Amino acid sequence: MSSPARQRALAVGLAGALALVAALGGASAAAEGPTLAAAAARTGRQIGVAVAHDPLVREIAYGRLIAREFSSITPENELKWSPMAPAPEVVDDSRWETVLAAAAAAGQQVRGHTLLWDQQLPSWAVALPDAALLAAQRAHTERLLAATSGRIAVWDVVNEALEDDGSLSRTAMWRAGGERHLTDTFRTARQMAPEAKLFYNDYGVEGINPKSDGMFAVLRRWRAAGVPVDGVGLQCHLKAGEAPPVAQLRANIQRLGGLGLDVHLTEIDVQVRHLDGSDWGRDAVQARLLHQWVEACVAEPACTALTFWGLSDRHTWVDHAHGDDRPLLFDDELEPKLSYFAVRAALLGKPDPTCAVERLPEGGFDKGMGGWRASGGQGAVVEGPSGGPALRVSGRTATWQGPVRTVTDSVADGLPLRARAQVTVGPGGPAKVALTAHVIDGAGERFVPLAAGQAQPGRWTALEGALSIDLKAPVRSVELYVEGPPAGQELWLDGASLRVDCPAAAGAKVRP
């Protein structure tokens, strides 16, 4: 790229970045409370996001939110070899220069990703003989380190060099240089970027498994040999329901920390599209998982930074690789999701606020039916036995008739919910009452008992039970209903609630 063109690109990028930062003063907050950056700073940690060039220069809100919420950024693709070297004698640094200028204007650290990776190589380089490819890679690494001198706080020096069994991959560059081509890249990075932390980065190594065991052995060997590895990045491309147990994550962080390594969670996203159920339910599953994993990082001194791999569900590689999904902290409209609040709470040492989101009108029927109806007979909100408004179902002609409410928009596979209700009956003597779930999905129609009790006329009986259903697509309907008394006897409902079933006490409410 010619010098004048490069200068114009830098000027445009820096001016745009400064404009975004200036706009923050009058912009409404993405959410009440501290930003993610402020919350992470309280723990002494960095929290970052992968940034793409095109939305950064085209979408003002994208850049504004990144500048507001995060303390570090990672150029998602712009520092990889292929985008900056479309031909053997052509180098275009403009895209990553723009991203780095925006980070500098916002006072953010930069994580460089990546110096050595056998993927996303220029097509012309892939066609080279093995030794020539290795030589070209080394020249690219040295040029990039020189061009970014003093501007990168952390480098993913080597990316994804392991097979699933924990052995080092025998790539074309391996054939030419052996394991030394990996360790030499670390030594070159230390020599040319002495101020930067140098990391090995990989996927599928978050828990304890053959690949992470192999990584641990390699890093221990390299550290003993004086290879300048400062840390390891656990990518954390997770799939809800299939993520390693959080206890394994902590054990892995501890053993890596025992080698004197910093541990970063570097490419966090959580796929949920495979879960049967509602979007809200999927978001809640995701939020619970992220709260647990961020909480684990905060609890382990060796875990010093987290990076989310994309800003929003509209800016994610997952959609292109696996299909439309909801893997990140902000939705398509850049509004914070349940996961945003869960991550912030974990950084602040607070319980997962997802557990405090009320999915039904809490405390009674002072604002009307609240989505409830009668499955038979007549339903009406009237003054109840305790003096306040309650839902009465009269004119019942069968024991199963009573108050019912659709909750399809609150369920998902892997999401335990807890349903509660206060129930009483009208004149006619004591009667059995039950809280039941009615499910219609790909497995057919079924009735799931949640709680049962004996109700006395005019006295409230509490019914409470866990709603945890193995759903099968398509999920057509999930309803909560109260049943039990003989036909003709009135059935009353008050104090109904539905929340995520969390073992710890819930904190303050957040918006549903």
Q: Is the pLDDT of residue 501 over 80?
A: yes
Residue 106: phi and psi, rounded to 5, are -90, 0
First to last CA, the chain: 49
**Tokens, residue 178:** 């052996």
* Six-digit token string for 114: 């990546």
Residue 296 in this model has a pLDDT that exceeds 80: yes
Q: Please give the Cα distance from 48 to 41 (Å, whole number).
A: 12
Active site (annotated) includes residue 267? yes
pLDDT 10s digits, 218-257:
999 999 999 999 999 999 999 999 999 999 999 999 999 9
160 is catalytic: yes
Domains along the chain with CATH numbers: 3-350 (3.20.20.80), 373-500 (2.60.120.260)
Per-residue confidence (pLDDT) for residue 119, from 0 to 100: 95
Out of 69, 97, 160, 300, pick the active-site residue.
160
In degrees rounded to 5, what are phi and psi of residue 272?
A: -135, -5
| Residue 509 confidence class, pLDDT cut points 50, 70, 90 | very low
Sheet holding 403-406, edge to edge: 373-374, 403-406, 477-483, 431-441, 444-455
Per-residue pLDDT of 253-282, as tens digits, reads 999 999 999 999 999 999 999 999 999 999
Lowest mean pLDDT among 287-296, 357-366, 401-410: 357-366
Query: With left for phi above 0 and alpha for psi between -120 and 50, is residue 310 left, alpha or beta?
Result: left
- Residue pair 227/189 in contact by the 8 Å Cβ criterion: no
Residue of 69, 97, 267, 300 marked active site: 267
User: Whose structure tokens read 């994993």?
Assistant: 293
pLDDT tens sequence across 372-411: 999 999 999 999 988 889 999 999 999 999 999 999 999 9
Contact between 174 and 138 under an 8 Å Cβ cutoff? The reply is no
In angstroms, the CA 1 to CA 139 distance is: 17
Give the pLDDT band (50/70/90) at residue 8: very low
Residue 485 has pLDDT above 60, yes or no: yes
* Secondary structure of residue 171 in the 3-state scheme: coil
12 pLDDT exceeds 60? no
Quote the pLDDT of residue 28: 41
Average pLDDT, the chain: 91
* pLDDT, position 484: 97
AA letter at 167: S
The per-residue pLDDT for range 20-66, each reduced to its tens digit, is 333 333 334 445 789 999 999 999 999 999 999 999 999 999 999 99
Q: Distance between CA atoms of 439 and 410, rounded to whole angstroms?
A: 13
Nearest-10 Cα torsion for 163, 319, 98, 143: 20
